[in-house]
């Protein structure tokens, strides 16, 4: 069983990931042959973006299962080993719920199977299914979301939510891409997204590849001024976790954009697969926010830009209050407030 996209390739024996740390200057792939290598790839952000992390972890789980092969034929021993594999993969990044969603799905498949016979095939089938479904899901997000985009609109986006952040096609970027493919003339403003520069390095690279020539890179602190000048018609971002009341965790800087959009009366949309919805957490206060290495802030492009000894904070995500969100775009349709009620309804569908 094989799967190939720009972000990842499953060969049946290993997972090849495009090294997102090196884009856009170098297009190199890293091959992971063990579950520990997959965990390391997620931790080091060789692969990143909520749905991409989920799909990658699914393949990491399969590699973990393959590594057990020949050690024992006892199903309980295997379950014990797989618990360790799952925990290791779960401990890579805390905020994007897709990671936990995909691993729970893999574990459910394992328990359903209940015996060693054919287990590797079943797990591989499930991981490929997660990846294939992700592409279809993103295309449906694009279909629903593109109805909110008019010909001639200028859209602001943040971070990277495209093919690279998913298995393929993208969520928020998928919406932009669909609207463009429908023939709408668009201008796209891309926040550079300090400190990791996903916008500058990855989103602009993707948009230019799709042929959206009216792509403008701006530094994060320019967005408010552009809004004030009336240059932005709508904002579309992705999400790492949406909780029961509709609060949204996404890349640091998303909250500031939502406040600015609200102040200027600009629609603020969040696009995501329903696998990003976590109804077990009542509101944004309960979302674990990853703090990353201080080097990401003190350095830029591999060079130190701040004095030695300065204290640093580096939360990788923030939480946007549901009141600031105009609508949530999913593969099952567009949800409007009241989110508490409408998220529950869409999860039941
Ligand atoms: O730290 P990252 O690059 O993994 O963060 C990615 C984001 O915040 C994206 O906006 C989010 O995962 C949605 S991707 C479709």
pLDDT tens by residue, 267-298: 999 999 999 999 999 999 999 999 999 999 99
Confidence of residue 111 (pLDDT cuts 50, 70, 90): very high
Ligand 1 centre and the CA of 69: distance in Å? Answer: 34
Residue whose CA lies nearest to ligand 1 atom number 10: 238
Ligand 1 atom nearest residue 251's Cα: 8
Predicted confidence at residue 70, as pLDDT, reads 82
Side-chain-side CA neighbours of residue 321 (13 Å): 7
Residue whose CA lies nearest to ligand 1 atom number 15: 161
Quick one: what percent of the chain has pLDDT higher than 70? 100
Confidence of residue 1 (pLDDT cuts 50, 70, 90): confident
Average pLDDT value for the chain: 97
As given in the structure block, the two tokens for residue 349 are 């569908």
Distance of alpha carbon 212 from the chain centroid? 21
The catalytic site residues sit at 240
Residue ranges around ligand 1 (CB below 6 Å): 48-51, 96, 159, 161, 165-166, 171, 198, 238-240, 250-251, 316
Q: Are 223 and 155 in contact (CB under 8 A)?
A: no
CATH topology of domain 3-138: 1.20.120
pTM: 0.97
Ligand 1 centre and the CA of 205: distance in Å? Answer: 16
Predicted confidence at residue 69, as pLDDT, reads 83
Ligand 1 centre and the CA of 88: distance in Å? Answer: 21
Pocket test of ligand 1: the residue of 169, 251, 254, 317 to mutate, having most ligand atoms within 8 Å of its CB, is 251
Confidence of residue 200 (pLDDT cuts 50, 70, 90): very high
pLDDT tens by residue, 165-193: 999 999 999 999 999 999 999 999 999 99
pLDDT tens by residue, 57-88: 999 999 999 999 889 999 999 999 999 999 99
Residue whose CA lies nearest to ligand 1 atom number 8: 251
Rg (CA), the chain: 20
Ligand 1 atom nearest residue 290's Cα: 1
Predicted confidence at residue 349, as pLDDT, reads 87
pLDDT tens by residue, 143-159: 999 999 999 999 999 99
Ligand 1 centre and the CA of 48: distance in Å? Answer: 7
CATH architecture of 143-348: 3-Layer(aba) Sandwich (3.40)
| DSSP string over 239-261 | -SEEETTS-EEEETTHHHHHHHH
CATH 3.40.50.10470 in the chain: give the residue spans.
143-348
Confidence of residue 133 (pLDDT cuts 50, 70, 90): very high
Ligand 1 centre and the CA of 119: distance in Å? Answer: 32
CATH 1.20.120.420 in the chain: give the residue spans.
3-138
Does residue 49 carry a pLDDT above 90?
yes
Does residue 215 carry a pLDDT above 90?
yes
Angstrom distance (rounded) from CA 127 to CA 106 = 7
């Amino acid at each position: 069983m094989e799967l190939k996209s720009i972000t990842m390739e499953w060969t049946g024996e290993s997972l090849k990931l495009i090294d997102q740390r090196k884009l856009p200057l170098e297009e190199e792939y890293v091959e992971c042959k063990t579950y520990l290598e997959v965990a390391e790839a997620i931790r080091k952000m060789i692969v990143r973006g909520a749905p991409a992390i989920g799909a990658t972890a699914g393949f990491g789980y399969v590699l973990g299962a393959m590594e057990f092969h020949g050690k024992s034929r006892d199903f309980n021993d295997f379950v014990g080993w797989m618990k360790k594999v799952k925990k290791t993969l779960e401990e890579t990044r805390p905020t994007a719920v897709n990671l936990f969603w995909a691993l729970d799905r893999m574990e459910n498949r394992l328990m359903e199977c209940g015996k060693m016979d054919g287990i590797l095939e079943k797990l591989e089938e499930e991981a490929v299914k997660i990846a294939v479904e992700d592409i279809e899901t993103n295309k449906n997000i694009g279909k629903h979301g593109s109805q909110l985009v008019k010909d001639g609109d200028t859209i602001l986006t943040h971070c990277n939510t495209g093919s690279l952040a998913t298995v393929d096609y993208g969520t928020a970027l998928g919406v932009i891409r669909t609207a463009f493919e429908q023939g709408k003339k668009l201008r796209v403003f891309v926040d550079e997204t300090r400190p990791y520069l996903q916008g500058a390095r990855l989103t602009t690279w993707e948009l230019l590849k799709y042929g959206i020539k009216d792509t403008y890179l701006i530094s994060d602190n320019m967005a408010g001024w552009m809004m004030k000048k009336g240059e932005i018609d709508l904002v579309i971002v992705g999400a790492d976790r949406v909780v029961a009341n509709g609060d949204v965790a996404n890349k640091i800087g998303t909250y500031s954009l939502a406040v600015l959009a609200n102040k200027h009366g600009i629609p603020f949309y969040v696009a995501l697969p329903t696998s990003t919805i976590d109804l077990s957490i009542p509101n944004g206060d309960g979302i674990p926010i990853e703090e990353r290495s201080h080097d990401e802030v003190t350095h830029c492009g591999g060079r130190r830009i701040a004095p030695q000894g300065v204290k640093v904070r580096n939360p990788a995500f923030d939480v946007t209050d549901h009141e600031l969100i105009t609508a949530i775009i999913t593969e099952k349709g567009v949800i409007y407030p009241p989110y508490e009620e409408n998220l529950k309804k869409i999860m039941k569908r």
